[in-house]
Amino acid sequence: MLEWILGLYCLYLLIKLYAALMEIGFVEKAKRFEPIVLSAANYRKAAAYKIASQKLSLVTTLYDFMLFFVWITFGLRRLNEIVFFENTLLNSAVYVLVFIGVNYLLSLPFDLYQTFVLDKKFGFSTIAPRTFFLDQCKSVAMFIVFGGAFFVAMAYIIDTFKDWWMYGFAFSFAVVLFINMIYPVVIVPIFNKLTPLQDENLQSAIERLLDKAGLHSSGVFCLDASKRDNRLNAYFGGLGRSKRVVLFDTLIAKLTTSELLAVLGHELGHFAHKDILKNIAASALMLFIMFALFGNLPLGLFESLHVEPSAHVVIALFLLLSPVISFAMMPLFGLLSRYNEYRADAYGSECENQEALRAALIKLADENKSFPFAHPLTIALYFTHPPLTARLERLGMRFESSAKDACAH
Ligand SMILES: [Zn+2]
């Protein structure tokens, strides 16, 4: 049984490594061509950033495999011997928190490298070590309190019900919905400062845009994203017809009013097409499949791991293997998501106009230094959004013989 799990993980590992190597080769080739979409300097930078992050992902993928191997072969069993409390629920919660804590600490060096070396070098990360440290402390504290409570509840469900996976699924899904609901109102303000938008013209333009889509605003806010990162973004929060609009200060600084409205129009397109609900349904389905799998693990697996099929081991296995399962499901969800993005682009360009959305997308990519296209395998495996060149083509832009075509063959 153990061989099967390891075999499956190795397959996952090989596909990921192969895709990363293909992507590196693709971008190495593409960067030698005449730059398209981005300014020449940013095109080269975007290529270099992509290659550097793919190389980092080669290392982390191998490292994660090593961690997985250690946990599966003796880590889970060893932790079972170390963590021992009379109270089974407390025992389960501590076991899972220690398991996650160890993984967190072991992957921290890579996070530090990404934030303070890679993202600094390419001019994304503006975060001060102090802010990073405070963020980490806040996250860890919240995780211990809320994660601990969640795992106690989950362990209770696993220990109590025979068909626990159905109840476990219902409970987890309710928690996911709840977090999504409170995220913009409760969690974002813990990390960032939201201030009402000062620009009244922009504010009333945004309100008119929402009206057209049959929604109304419960406030337009500016978020101080620039204290961490230079990348641009915007989002809508809130359920029902009343929406809170949050614009990153970095976005307001770079886009014209018309471009901002086109970007918000794109987001409104997701509401108009009920994409948010569809995404929720898709993640419910994904979660359901995972619970159905982990609720029916064969006993032979626990025997080969030399552990009891106790609640905390089931949860740890879930956490270890869920990346593999979501990786397997991602191509289908990515495909649906990319389709939805095209439709939202069409909606956004109707709200404002094609030129404004095109200009906004190009500026976003230029500022975020995101490479405008990718190897087809990378797109199929990971992309939730179509590559920029494909989106721009749908918005009426034509590329003459370019790197894009040269690399496709
Ligand atoms: Zn979108």
What's residue 231's pLDDT?
A: 65
How far is ligand 1, taken at its centre, from the CA of residue 183, in Å?
19
**Element spanning 277, H or E:** helix 275-294
pLDDT exceeds cutoff 60 at 310: yes
Whole-number Å distance between alpha carbons of 12 and 30: 27
What's residue 190's pLDDT?
A: 81
In a domain, 85, yes or no: yes
In a domain, 212, yes or no: no
**Element spanning 404, H or E:** helix 403-408
Where does the pLDDT of residue 397 fall: very low under 50, low under 70, confident under 90, or very high at 90 and above? confident
pLDDT in tens, 201-214: 888 888 888 888 78
What's residue 219's pLDDT?
A: 83
What's residue 405's pLDDT?
A: 62
How far is ligand 1, taken at its centre, from the CA of residue 309, in Å?
42
In a domain, 103, yes or no: yes
Over residues 157-172, the mean pLDDT reads 94
How many structural domains compose the chain?
1
What's residue 63's pLDDT?
A: 96
What's residue 220's pLDDT?
A: 86
Over residues 132-154, the mean pLDDT reads 92
**Percent of the chain that is helix, strand, coil (3-state, to 5):** 75, 5, 20
Describe the crossing of helices 88-112 and 148-160 by its angle, rounded to 10 degrees: 130
User: Taking a C-beta distance cutoff of 8 angstroms, is the pair 345, 266 a contact?
Assistant: yes
Question: What DSSP string runs through 206-248?
Answer: HHHHHHHTT-EEEEEEEE-GGGTB----EEEE-STTEEEEEEE
How far is ligand 1, taken at its centre, from the CA of residue 45, in Å?
25
How far is ligand 1, taken at its centre, from the CA of residue 220, in Å?
19
Residue 350: domain span: 2-124+276-408
Q: Mapped to the 3 state alphabet, what secondary structure does 10-41 carry? A: HHHHHHHHHHHHHHHHHHHHHCCCCCCCCCHH
User: Taking a C-beta distance cutoff of 8 angstroms, is the pair 207, 200 a contact?
Assistant: no
How far is ligand 1, taken at its centre, from the CA of residue 407, in Å?
26
In a domain, 184, yes or no: no
Over residues 1-15, the mean pLDDT reads 92
Q: Judging by beta carbons within 10 Å of its beta carbon (0-12, 13-18, 19+), is residue 210 exposed, middle or buried?
A: buried
pLDDT in tens, 370-392: 899 999 999 999 999 999 999 99
What's residue 383's pLDDT?
A: 95
What's residue 230's pLDDT?
A: 66
Give percent of the chain above pLDDT 70: 96
DSSP code at position 125: B
In a domain, 299, yes or no: yes
Higher pLDDT pick, 241 / 76: 76
Residues 6+ apart with CB under 8 A from 330: 381, 382
How far is ligand 1, taken at its centre, from the CA of residue 248, in Å?
16
What's residue 337's pLDDT?
A: 93
What's residue 198's pLDDT?
A: 86
In a domain, 120, yes or no: yes
Average pLDDT over all residues of the chain? 89
Whole-number Å distance between alpha carbons of 382 and 15: 12
How far is ligand 1, taken at its centre, from the CA of residue 63, in Å?
32
What's residue 239's pLDDT?
A: 61
pLDDT exceeds cutoff 60 at 358: yes
DSSP code at position 196: E
What's residue 61's pLDDT?
A: 95
In a domain, 292, yes or no: yes
Where does the pLDDT of residue 9 fall: very low under 50, low under 70, confident under 90, or very high at 90 and above? very high
In a domain, 298, yes or no: yes
CA distances from 18 to 22, 284, 383 (A): 6, 30, 16
Predicted TM-score of the model (pTM) = 0.84
How far is ligand 1, taken at its centre, from the CA of residue 55, in Å?
28
How far is ligand 1, taken at its centre, from the CA of residue 182, in Å?
21
Where does the pLDDT of residue 314 fall: very low under 50, low under 70, confident under 90, or very high at 90 and above? very high
